[in-house]
Amino acid sequence: MKGTGIVRKVDHLGRIVLPKGLRDMLDIQPSDGVEVFVDDQYIVLKKYAPSCIFCGSMDEVIYYRGKTVCKECVEEIAKEIKNGSA
């Protein structure tokens, strides 16, 4: 893990502010999601990137009925339905 030298205080609601330079470096925009992970005593923040519920791919992901599915899995499912094996 690489240190940044940035220290922020937690406010009375438990919030911290990510500095603009850090948000710019990680391409985090105001409406982006951020995932929170815990690793022993560390809190790790990562920009949220949706992935396919079937294969985990993050390429060409679409939302369908509240789920994320990649184009490749959609095509594979359509092929199985067409062939009658689904």
**27-60 exposure pattern, b = at least 16 Cβ within 10 A, e = fewer:** ebeeeeeeeeeeeeeeeeeeeeeeebeeeeeeee
Residues 38 and 71 in one domain: no
Question: Are residue 44 and residue 74 in the same domain, yes or no?
Answer: no
pLDDT at 15: 95
Alpha-helical runs (H) found in the chain: 20-25, 71-83
pTM score, whole prediction: 0.59
CA angle 77, 81, 83 (to 5 degrees): 115
Question: What domain range includes position 19?
Answer: 1-48
Count of other CB atoms within 10 angstroms of residue 71: 13
Domain count, the chain: 2
Q: What is the pLDDT of residues 23-76, one digit of tens each?
A: 998 899 999 999 999 999 999 999 888 899 999 999 999 999 989 999 999 999
Same domain flag for 18 and 58: no
> Same structural domain for residues 3 and 42?
yes
Are both 62 and 41 inside the same structural domain?
no
Please tell me the distance from the alpha carbon of residue 61 to that of residue 47, in angstroms, as a whole number.
Answer: 16
pLDDT of residue 86: 61
Shared-domain flag, residues 3 and 43: yes
